[in-house]
Structure 1
Amino acid sequence: MKKTLILLLLIGLAIPGKLFAQQNRFSGWAALFHTQKFSDKWGMSFDAQFRSANHYDYLQNVLLRPSVNYYFDNNKMAALGYAYISANNHLPTGAKTFRPESRIWQQLIINTKISKAATLQHRLRLEQRFLGNTTNKTDHYFAQRVRYFARAVIPLKKAETFTKGPFVGLQNEVMVNVQNNHKVNNHFFDQNRAYAAVGYRVHKKADVEVGYLNQFVQQTAGSYFNHVLQAAIYTRF
């Protein structure tokens, strides 16, 4: 388990040192993640996220993301989903912009045990992105992105199974542009999100947590770090 945790931390820090002298932003994210099984093989997921602008000035992003899930067995699942993201921005001139985005996405999740009660999830996702153009409401840019995500949930109390109690969550996600990056930021690398949280499992079907997320974003010209305070609820039925 120690090797796995060290690997997660190294992934989160695997950004060239020259990039650390970038501008910093501060924001807050709130999220709800729900998974629902209809049978042994079929189910659905839904998450809703709300993200503030820099210095918590206003609501910048709303993300809604449903999917249909197929379970190969107890620890492997594939999904086909859709996502809608609204992006609101306030320019220094006082003007306001709105850029919507729609996505179709596919993913594979593999859950593994790293101890009797601790778990590690691997997730690989491919996204087809349709990015709205703020200068022409009828125009959309198309791009594709690959995302790899790893998350460990480590109970703070020793137990054979983890159904209730405090835990630590560690995760990292890296995103790369694999098609039409000139429509996004002109780079293969898109962003990285490293996250550490403390949480409480209310019962085996619900978790709550609060944590710090470090988001590194590559832009067309320059880059920045977004320091995020995140609160999340996870439900599983």
Structure 2
Amino acid sequence: MLPAVSQTTHTGWLATFYSVDFNKKSGLIGDVQFRSGDDFNHMQTLMLRAGYQYKLKPWMTATVGYALVQHRRTINGFSGYGPEHRIWEQLILLQKVKFINIQHRFRLEQRFISKSYEDDGSIRHDGNIYSNRFRYFFRSVIPFGGQKDFSRGAFGAVQDEVMLQFGDKSGTNGKVFDQNRLYLALGYRFSKKVDLEAGYMNQYVEGRQDNFVNNHVIQLATYLRF
């Protein structure tokens, strides 16, 4: 049996999350994310994601969407970017405990991960690996002023997300557990339409056999609501 390989990395993520209301019931949501490689030395991942959402109840929203993810890969010493296409469905439940807003998100992903190989110094792709993933996410926004109707001011944010795989897992790490992301942030709400926050995330990614990556992430994010 090969010994376990643990890797510690330090990366930076820039993200913009947005929502556009068409009417009181429906709208568009999405995000654009830029993620660096270890020690901030290159772009590791570019993500473009969008979805159509429909409000089932004031506290419950369903969404279906698509994401394009470009991952950097290194094969035989040569690097390039390979696409991953995702179809996703999610349900968001909103909860309020006094002045603290809590979001619970349940997401299913159907992932089409490109098969990459090196050919004469270039990274090429042929076909896809199909994988299913379930994600549970919660996020709590805590206004420092204790406002129940929070429209402006400083806040703290706490969130965690666990990702689990199901179905055929042979094309990924071969396990049910994929990764966990724990995140703490400080932010400022300029209005009901704009938030800016910065924080630290610990991303634990399970690899094949006993291998894993412990990624320390500094994230800067904006939240835009139209």
For normalisation by structure 1, the TM-score amounts to 0.87
Greater strand fraction, Structure 1 or Structure 2: 2
Q: 2:126 aligns with which of 109, 133, 138?
A: 138
Provide the aligned length of Structure 1 versus Structure 2. 216
How far the C-alpha of 1:160 sits from its partner, in A, is: 3.2
| Mapped pair 1:229 → 2:206 | no
How far the C-alpha of 1:158 sits from its partner, in A, is: 2.3
| Fraction of identical pairs, as percent | 38
In 1, the alpha carbon distance for the partners of 2:97 and 2:159 equals 14
| Mapped pair 1:112 → 2:95 | yes
How far the C-alpha of 1:42 sits from its partner, in A, is: 1.1
1:36-185 alignment to 2 at 5 Å? 36-90=20-74, 94-115=77-98, 117-135=99-117, 137-185=125-173
In 1, the alpha carbon distance for the partners of 2:147 and 2:63 equals 31
In 2, the alpha carbon distance for the partners of 1:55 and 1:159 equals 39
User: 2:164, 2:176 within 8 Å by CA — same for their partners in 1?
Assistant: yes
Moved over 6 A (4+): none
1:214 matched residue in structure 2: 202
How far the C-alpha of 1:90 sits from its partner, in A, is: 4.2
User: 1:151, 1:172 within 8 Å by CA — same for their partners in 2?
Assistant: yes
> Residue by residue, what CA displacement relative to the aligned partner does 1:146-177 show, whole Å, maximum 9, x if unpaired?
00000000001122311000000000000011
In 2, the alpha carbon distance for the partners of 1:216 and 1:175 equals 10
Amino acid at match of 1:130: F
Q: 2:182 aligns with which of 194, 212, 221?
A: 194
In 2, the alpha carbon distance for the partners of 1:23 and 1:40 equals 46
RMSD: 1.5
Question: What runs of 5+ residues in structure 2 fail to find an aligned partner?
Answer: 118-123
How far the C-alpha of 1:75 sits from its partner, in A, is: 1.5
- What SS does the corresponding residue of 1:187 show, helix, strand or coil? coil
Question: Which of 21-30 and 189-198 deviates more?
Answer: 21-30
User: 1:31, 1:233 within 8 Å by CA — same for their partners in 2?
Assistant: yes
Question: What runs of 5+ residues in structure 1 fail to find an aligned partner?
Answer: 1-18
How far the C-alpha of 1:191 sits from its partner, in A, is: 0.2
> Residue by residue, what CA displacement relative to the aligned partner does 1:61-96 show, whole Å, maximum 9, x if unpaired?
0000010001012221000000000011346x6411
User: 1:215, 1:226 within 8 Å by CA — same for their partners in 2?
Assistant: yes
In 2, the alpha carbon distance for the partners of 1:24 and 1:216 equals 10
Greater helix fraction, Structure 1 or Structure 2: 1
Amino acid at match of 2:139: R
